[in-house]
Amino acid sequence: MKIIKFKKQDGSPQLAAVKNETLVYPLPYEDFLEVIQDSEKKGASCLAIVEKAIGKVEALPVAVEDLTLLLPLEAEEVWASGVTYLKSKNARNYEAYDGKEEVADSYYDKVYDADRPEIFLKSTSKRTIGPEQPVYLRNDSNWQIPEPELGLVLNKSGKIVGYTVGNDMSSRDIEGENPLYLPQAKIWKHSCSFGPAIRLAETVEDPYDLLITCKIIRNGTEVFEESASTSQLKRTYDELIEYLMRDNDVFDGTVLFTGTCIIPGNDFTLAEGDVVEITIPEVGTLSNPVEKTPVSNTVTSS
């Protein structure tokens, strides 16, 4: 069972449940956040809440592929995990240490092996976009890539209520210059997207066996494709969530990205006009065109 939000003919949004990948049922909620809150109020799972709601209505005469999908959840905060895969560790070393993937006692080697994971604030609701909306390139970076990730959708108690596809845009040159620049390498307008759906947690058989595929298309030609599995993740989801929850307020609908194991070659950078497609079959394909950040959103030093 998946949750989507789509644009109706009058332009208004409609939250819906997708059953058996084809049947679309309208839900009496404006956003998936309300489903989470209702489930807590009634002491029932999100799946139980959704199944009860769709039992009262008929499926819509529409096909999912014909719908204009919107961001399914207005997440107040999106957090992200770093260096949770071996390939990510090696890539961070390459950026920071003159092209060396193996560096004894580097910051990234240490955090990869440490008890405490790297967790950082990635985005807020006003900075986050959904399917088919453009991700932006920073104007002060020359080396930028998407980072395809599995996203965990949490309630305020830290329970996983759903899974989504995430794109954690990253400026490799900024992060590589100095690890203290991480916020600037990760957070800017339209640097975070997720969707196109939320797969309810109870309907995922094994969240450590999900295939993630990323394709990048340029001028109609595929210039990059790579796949990885969440089975390659070094840490458990519970471990990441536990550290996120420590002495922290976590809101209903918080999304936690779990890190990437798909990284384009070191000579690759995104360009204006590219299209990034990230697929997790159980959730769907998150597609975003790439644009430069509008000049009106930049500040020039005098």
Contact 192, 129 (CB under 8 A): yes
**Residues 301, 296: Cα–Cα separation, whole Å:** 14
pLDDT for residue 189 is more than 60: yes
Joined tokens for residue 83 = 């260096």
Give the β-pairing of 128-129 and 160-168: unpaired
Which are the contacts of 261, defined by CB distance < 8 A and separation ≥ 6? 85, 86, 87, 88, 212, 228, 229, 232, 233
Do 151 and 54 lie in one domain? The reply is no
Asked if residue 302 is part of any domain, the answer here is: no
State the residue for tokens 């990323």. Answer: 214
Residue numbers of the domain that contains 207: 77-297
**According to the model, what pLDDT value does residue 96 have?**
85
Do 148 and 257 lie in one domain? The reply is yes
| pTM > 0.85: yes or no | yes
Do 155 and 23 lie in one domain? The reply is no
Do 38 and 182 lie in one domain? The reply is no
- The CA–CA distances, whole Å, from 89 to 81, 85, 166, 257, 301 equal 12, 7, 19, 16, 34
Question: Where residue 157 sits, what CATH number does that domain have?
Answer: 3.90.850.10
Asked if residue 39 is part of any domain, the answer here is: yes
Do 168 and 285 lie in one domain? The reply is yes
Asked if residue 185 is part of any domain, the answer here is: yes
pLDDT for residue 98 is more than 90: no
**pLDDT band for position 297 (50/70/90)?**
low
42-90 confidence digits (pLDDT tens): 999 999 999 999 999 999 999 999 999 999 999 999 999 999 998 898 8
Asked if residue 32 is part of any domain, the answer here is: yes
Closest CA to 233 of 262, 263, 199, 208: 208
Do 110 and 237 lie in one domain? The reply is yes
Provide the number of structural domains found in the chain.
2
103-160 confidence digits (pLDDT tens): 767 888 899 999 999 999 999 999 999 999 999 999 999 999 999 999 999 999 999 9
Peptide bond connecting 131 to the previous residue in cis, omega within 30 degrees of 0: no
Joined tokens for residue 129 = 């976009």
Asked if residue 37 is part of any domain, the answer here is: yes
Asked if residue 99 is part of any domain, the answer here is: yes
Do 253 and 108 lie in one domain? The reply is yes
Do 179 and 278 lie in one domain? The reply is yes
Do 100 and 219 lie in one domain? The reply is yes
Mean pLDDT throughout 226-235?
97
Asked if residue 110 is part of any domain, the answer here is: yes
Residue 105 burial (C-beta neighbours within 10 Å; 0-12, 13-18, 19+):
exposed
Do 15 and 156 lie in one domain? The reply is no
**According to the model, what pLDDT value does residue 106 have?**
86
Do 87 and 38 lie in one domain? The reply is no
Phi-psi group of 33: left, alpha or beta (phi > 0 → left; psi -120 to 50 → alpha; rest → beta): alpha
Q: Which of 42, 70, 98 is the last residue of a domain?
A: 70
Do 128 and 168 lie in one domain? The reply is yes
Q: Which of 54, 70, 86 is the last residue of a domain?
A: 70
Q: Which of 70, 101, 128 is the last residue of a domain?
A: 70
